[in-house]
Amino acid sequence: MILPSDLIAQIENFIVTHNNLGFTVREDFVIDAIIFKLDWLRNNNERLEISREQYDELNEVIKEMGMPLITVDEFIHNQINDILEKYSNYIISKRRNT
């Protein structure tokens, strides 16, 4: 498969400007992207996007406030799990009262 030249240029530019991510050649980047996408689709996940600025800021807030969570990801997953547990308890309570 041949990629469009503008896409190849974008990939190569990304590798150069984000050399801290460990990609040295575009083939490694493309393989990683394909593996990520396949895994994502197989697991039937949804995607939540926040800006890198907000993500980094929230990580700093979590650290500065001494919250018991380590990362933004843990914080988000914790919030989701908490509300799902509360909803489950709500449903159980509702059934008991009917």
Mean pLDDT of 7-22: 93
Q: Report the candidate in 22, 33, 26 with the shortest Cα–Cα distance to residue 12.
A: 26
Does the global pTM surpass 0.85?
A: no
Cα 82 to Cα 57: distance, rounded to the nearest angstrom: 23
- In this predicted structure, what is the pLDDT of residue 53? 93
Helices (H) and strands (E) in the chain, counts: 4, 0
Q: How many residues does the chain have?
A: 98
For 35-91, the pLDDT digits (tens) are: 988 988 898 777 788 899 998 998 888 888 887 767 888 888 888 999 999 999 999
Q: What residue spans define the domains of the chain?
A: 1-47, 49-98
Cα 44 to Cα 12: distance, rounded to the nearest angstrom: 30
Mean pLDDT of 4-19: 94
